[in-house]
Amino acid sequence: MNGFAIVWQERALFLEGLWNTVSLVVAAIAISVPLSALGAVVLVEAPRPVARLARALIDLTRCVPFLLLAYVIYYGLPQLGLRFDAWWAGLVTMTLYNAAYLAEIFRSAWLALPKEGFEAARAYGFRPATLYRRIVLPQIAYASAPLVGGQIIVMIKDSALLMIITVREISFAANSINANYFTPFAPFVVAIGMYWMLSLIVEAWVRRVASGARLRYG
Amino acid sequence: MADAAPAVSARLVCKQFDGIEVLRDVSLDVAKGSTACIVGPSGSGKSTFLRCVNWLEQPTTGQILLNGAPMGVVPSPKGGTRPMTAKELALARTRVSMVFQHFALWPHLTVLGNVIEAPVHVLGRPRDEAVEDARRLLARVGLEAKADAFPHTLSGGQKQRVAISRALAMKPEVLLFDEPTSALDPEMVGEVLEVMRDLAKEGMTMMVVTHEMAFARDVADTIAFFDAGRVIETGDPKAFFTAPQTDRARRFLTRYGI
């Protein structure tokens, strides 16, 4: 049988894979963006020792290979009594790993912003929470969108590694079809197509934000 | 008694940065509805003093009173004072608006967004009302057509007029100007000063740090001349510009051809 016909026959497996990849990526973004925004606030504004601790944790996370982080969380933590199923272990891994990178991206975007506007906001009676929400974070978002988009694409591709800890995502689907039917080409091409499509969606979002930024900053 | 109190009263304000004295015993009263121009050489502490009024800088010692109420500190019942909490300080700052040398507009918001931002998100005024108010304020500085533009598309003079509208939108008791025309091309200075003249005429209480001596002479009700962190002359602009009391002021004015 033709490889693509097999893929079509096994489409339920692929759709499940697509769903798991998308749900992992979306959930990881939803958690890691606010977490890393908070991380950036700590890096920039917290008292020295707290900022140092955050810095150390972020550097540590960024220096661990993604795959090993996934291994430790899925296979290692149960030894300490913390057990996740594969999807949740994948989510924790992706969230931690990306939050570390995003915090660094947000921090550098923040430091590059002009400070006069922040002082003006203080002079006009903004309190810190409103100042961050209304003045600081929106400007960070515009400034960092291209890098954030790049990081999300990295995250989408990293998620393929989660097949090793048995998450039933896109690569897992492709791999299991190959293993069962000995037809590597079609399933892997379809998997690549799916990752590509997801990345294009992210690119489209980046272009939209970037045009908003052009409107504002020229 | 509250009516008799000056809009701003600075009493023996001192400020040190890392042990370096930048303000020493600065006292100045600004009557309600009057304009005080603060002049003097660069580095004489003019801007630092202005920034003490809204507590962007904390005086090391001394007092700022806004319509009789202390800024930055709260009198405690046992006598003495305690520093304001962040919340109290934010609230107190809404009574004073500031216009900055480099405009300090919020670049991610439109012109209209800049003007309504603090009224809506700090004072909690209804948005419709704030928008209506903002359009009126922009119209009076001739920028109603720019309401939906972003700041980076404006000239310096236009930016500063937006900044003045933003300041007025808070309905402040006092308006502080920190060298509002120093960052402008010479052709744009006039349009900003004209707006400030109108405000002075309408009885807005203003404190203006400036190097525009003609403006100070024509518009100010009070002049304060700073040198090396002290106020060394205060009073009526006519007297100051025609017959300065000190050598230092005379030399300063000579540089402006006065």
Structure tokens at A59: 């550097």
Instruction: Provide the pLDDT for residue B81.
Output: 87
Instruction: Provide the pLDDT for residue A2.
Output: 86
Structure tokens at A42: 């700590």
Residue ranges per structural domain of chain A: 3-217
In which residue ranges of chain B is pLDDT below 70? 1-3
Nearest to B157 by CA among B147, B168, B169, B142: B142
Any domain includes B111: yes
Tell me whether strands B61-66 and B69-70 are parallel, antiparallel or unpaired.
antiparallel
- Residues B123-144 as b/e (b if ≥16 CB within 10 A, e otherwise) read eebeeeebbebbbebbebbebe
Q: For chain B, first and last CA: distance in Å? A: 40
Give Cα A59 distance to the centre of its chain.
16
Instruction: Provide the pLDDT for residue B1.
Output: 45
Whole-angstrom distance, CA of residue A65 vs CA of residue A73: 13
A109-144 pLDDT per residue, tens = 999 999 999 999 999 999 999 999 999 999 999 999
To the nearest whole angstrom, how far is the Cα of A147 from the nearest Cα of chain B?
18
pTM of the predicted protein model: 0.87
Of how many residues is chain B composed?
258
Neighbours of B21 (CB within 10 A): 14
Give Cα B253 distance to the centre of its chain.
22
To the nearest whole angstrom, how far is the Cα of B117 from the nearest Cα of chain A?
9
B-side interface with A, Cβ within 8 Å?
54, 56, 86-87, 90-94, 96-98, 100, 102-108, 117-118, 121-123, 150, 152-153, 166, 170
To the nearest whole angstrom, how far is the Cα of B104 from the nearest Cα of chain A?
5
Whole-angstrom distance, CA of residue B256 vs CA of residue A130: 44
ipTM: 0.91
Whole-angstrom distance, CA of residue A43 vs CA of residue A51: 5
Q: Which domain holds residue B127?
A: 105-171
Minimal Cβ distance to B107: which of A128, A134, A139:
A139
Whole-angstrom distance, CA of residue A101 vs CA of residue A35: 11
Minimal Cβ distance to A120: which of B86, B94, B104:
B104
Whole-angstrom distance, CA of residue B245 vs CA of residue B225: 11
In a 13 Å sphere around the CA of A138, the CA atoms on its Cβ side amount to 16
Whole-angstrom distance, CA of residue B85 vs CA of residue A202: 44
To the nearest whole angstrom, how far is the Cα of B26 from the nearest Cα of chain A?
21
B217-229 pLDDT per residue, tens = 999 999 999 999 9
Any domain includes B109: yes
| 8 Å CB contact of A216 and B54 | no
Whole-angstrom distance, CA of residue B238 vs CA of residue B235: 9
Any domain includes B51: no
In which residue ranges of chain A is pLDDT below 50? none
Whole-angstrom distance, CA of residue A34 vs CA of residue B236: 56
Alpha helices (runs of H) in chain A, residue ranges in sequence order: 3-9, 11-45, 48-63, 66-71, 86-112, 116-123, 128-130, 137-158, 170-181, 185-217
Q: Does A182 touch chain B (CB under 8 A)?
A: no
Nearest to A118 by CA among B66, B108, B133, B146: B108
Nearest to B236 by CA among B252, B248, B219: B219
Whole-angstrom distance, CA of residue B38 vs CA of residue B231: 9
Instruction: Provide the pLDDT for residue A157.
Output: 95
Number of structural domains found in chain B: 1
Any domain includes B131: yes
Instruction: Provide the pLDDT for residue A1.
Output: 60
Which superfamily does A3-217 belong to?
MetI-like (1.10.3720.10)
Report CA-CA distances (Å) from A41 to A57, A89, B214: 15, 27, 46
Any domain includes B4: no
Instruction: Provide the pLDDT for residue B78.
Output: 84
